[in-house]
Amino acid sequence: DAKTTQPPSMDCAEGRAANLPCNHSTISGNEYVYWYRQIHSQGPQYIIHGLKNNETNEMASLIITEDRKSSTLILPHATLRDTAVYYCIVRVGGFGNEKLTFGTGTRL
Amino acid sequence: DTAVSQTPKYLVTQMGNDKSIKCEQNLGHDTMYWYKQDSKKFLKIMFSYNNKELIINETVPNRFSPKSPDKAHLNLHINSLELGDSAVYFCASSRDRLPNEQFFGPGTRLTVL
């Protein structure tokens, strides 16, 4: 799985959009970008994933650059409950490749 | 209802003891996992089971033995506990098709004295 690079921490004012960047310059064509978050000491929580198109769900939006070497997770209206460590993970999707390799993440 | 549950939530034990952590999922998923999060907060996969068969073993010591009696359960048995085994252990599950999102349990904090 490709390596990812994230800033160690970010601040965001409540009510504003939080934009969390992730660099994955060695990503392969069949690797997906996944985002998880871990609130305090709880189990990680899936947020969103994408391959090359931008994606949006009820929690967040994922913007992937055209060359796929970086992406941005957007929390449109961040609140105190979004305080967590956010992990950007790149891996091949599908059966047999379920391993998630967590980095150090971004503390928001 | 809790999707992925683990018992116990806290486990304090002496070095050399043998202990088990249980995990159950009611999501109908085929794949289950064990992850370990150490004191530095690094989260690493240990094992993965699909339909009761081991498919990922990340060079975990033989003292750790996962057991899957059925698709909904994946228990973790640890023999001869060492100080370095102190960590939070998370169980997770997923289905076999995209997005393969993994659902994590609340974690079991193991402290070895």
pLDDT at residue A96, rounded to an integer: 59
pLDDT at residue A2, rounded to an integer: 64
Query: What is the chain B residue with the closest CA to A91?
Result: B100
Query: Taking residues A49-67, what's their average pLDDT?
Result: 93
Whole-number Å distance between alpha carbons of B93 and B26 = 10
Give alpha helix (H) positions in chain A.
Answer: none
Q: Do B96 and A93 touch (CB under 8 A)?
A: no
Yes or no: say if A78 and A15 are a contact pair by the CB < 8 Å rule.
yes
The whole-angstrom distance between A95's CA and the closest CA on chain B is: 5
User: What are the residues of chain B with a beta carbon less than 8 Å away from any beta carbon of chain A?
Assistant: 4, 31, 33, 35, 41-45, 48, 50, 55-56, 58, 88, 90, 92, 94, 96-107, 109
Summarised one tens digit per residue, pLDDT across range B14-45 is: 999 999 999 999 999 988 999 999 988 888 99
Cis amide leading into B8 (omega within 30): yes
Query: Taking residues A45-69, what's their average pLDDT?
Result: 94
Whole-number Å distance between alpha carbons of B111 and B85 = 8
A20 has a pLDDT exceeding 60 = yes
Whole-number Å distance between alpha carbons of B12 and A39 = 23
Q: Write the burial class of residue B86 (CB in 10 Å: 0-12 exposed, 13-18 middle, 19+ buried).
A: middle
